[in-house]
């Protein structure tokens, strides 16, 4: 039996990012891995329910043998086999992030025809909002050769979740193409996704009004493409807004915010706008959240990829370390943690 590659789950950011990237690339390469010290420094260390659900879904797709996969486990052995094309449903069972579960599956989806219905959180804290995945990340990956589609049937907020997203993929023509995303040019237009469930319609409307007011003060000529959602009644309560800025060359940056009890809709809209303005101020073509999600695909592509990001995060550095270990590539990140950075890599040309 092939010896498992050893992964230290406490390195770098020490969280779920290590699990998602390690399992995904191992599955794509069909190589066994052994992850130890899983989330060792977190208040609740070990595997959480959302990590288990994502791992089980990945294991289903690649017929993996998995040992140690239980709640609170600090180590897991993962031995993937053939990647299968299939159709199935996944229920995270909580408001766990659908976006992060998909992040676990995207690399194997490059080699699979998948149809997946996922129930959980579409817009929850500490994870990318679902519209970020659909309208910002997927268009970039499409240029690289990925063939992913995503639709949202129902929003899901903390604590109930109950959101529903439908994901599909077609086998990509590998290797992926490299990507070059450097400078954000003149702001051209902006997508606005303002949404709420089981709240007055004015919540969604006022979030958008407040956000657009802040943006217009800085960019009076920007064109807004606005989508306002409100669901009445629903079995999940919450609200949020995501703004995606698009420049004259199609580069995209995002800012988002979530509502909560006692937080006025106007404050939610203002918060999202201010986050986006901060991203825009650095004039880089990749925002601080997209950078770490692009790292594995840059490492898989054939040829040189370059991105300039508004802020170098620990998540990004952790993804770089995992990709270097598992794919044998070498990244060059010019910039300090928390500051704008330029990231280069010659990809592995994975087929």
Residues annotated catalytic, as ranges: 315
> What DSSP letter does each residue of 212-227 carry, written as one string?
HHHHHHH-TTPEEEEE
50 close to 94: Cβ distance less than 8 angstroms:
yes
Residue 30 burial (CB count, 10 A):
16
Residues 6+ positions from 132 with CB-CB distance below 8 Å: 99, 242, 244, 254, 256, 289, 290
Rg from Cα positions in the chain: 20
The strand pair at 86-91 and 114-120 is best described as parallel
Name the residue among 5, 4, 13, 3 with its Cα closest to residue 321.
Answer: 13
| Coil, strand or helix at 191 | strand
Buried b / exposed e along 177-193 (16+ C-beta atoms within 10 A)? bbbebeebeebbebbbb
Name the residue among 240, 268, 246 with its Cα closest to residue 127.
Answer: 240
Q: Interior CA angle at 257 toward 255 and 259, to 5°?
A: 165
Report the distance separating Cα 4 and Cα 91, nearest Å: 29
Report the distance separating Cα 144 and Cα 149, nearest Å: 14
């Amino acid at each position: 039996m092939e010896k498992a590659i050893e992964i230290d789950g406490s390195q770098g950011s020490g969280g779920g990012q290590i699990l998602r990237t390690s399992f995904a690339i191992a599955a794509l390469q069909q190589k066994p891995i052994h992850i130890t010290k899983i989330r060792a420094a977190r208040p609740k260390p070990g595997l959480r329910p959302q990590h288990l659900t994502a791992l089980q879904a990945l294991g289903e797709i690649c017929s993996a043998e998995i040992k140690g996969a239980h709640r609170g486990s600090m180590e897991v052995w993962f031995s993937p086999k053939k990647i299968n094309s299939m159709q199935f449903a996944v229920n995270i069972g909580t408001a766990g992030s659908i976006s992060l579960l998909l992040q676990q599956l995207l690399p194997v989806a490059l080699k699979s025809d998948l149809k997946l219905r996922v129930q959980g959180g579409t817009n929850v804290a500490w994870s990318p909002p679902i519209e970020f995945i659909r309208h910002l990340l997927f268009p970039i990956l499409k240029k690289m050769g990925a063939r992913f589609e995503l639709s949202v049937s129902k929003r899901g907020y903390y604590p109930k979740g109950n959101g529903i997203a439908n994901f599909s993929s077609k086998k990509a023509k590998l290797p992926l193409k490299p990507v070059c995303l450097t400078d954000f040019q003149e702001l051209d237009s902006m997508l606005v996704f303002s949404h709420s469930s089981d709240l007055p319609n004015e919540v969604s409307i006022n979030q958008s009004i407040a956000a657009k007011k802040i943006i217009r003060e800085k960019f009076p000529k920007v064109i807004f493409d606005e989508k306002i959602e409100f669901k009445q009644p629903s079995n999940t309560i919450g609200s949020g807004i995501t703004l995606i800025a698009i420049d004259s060359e199609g580069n995209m940056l995002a800012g988002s915010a979530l509502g909560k009890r006692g937080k006025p809709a106007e404050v939610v809209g203002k918060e999202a706008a201010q986050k986006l303005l901060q991203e825009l101020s650095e004039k880089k073509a990749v925002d601080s959240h997209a950078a770490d999600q692009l790292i594995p695909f840059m490492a898989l592509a054939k040829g040189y990829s370059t991105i300039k990001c508004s802020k170098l995060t620990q998540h990004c550095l952790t993804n770089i370390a995992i990709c270097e270990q598992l794919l044998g590539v070498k990244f060059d990140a010019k910039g300090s943690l928390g500051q704008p950075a330029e990231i280069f890599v010659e990809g592995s040309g994975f087929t």
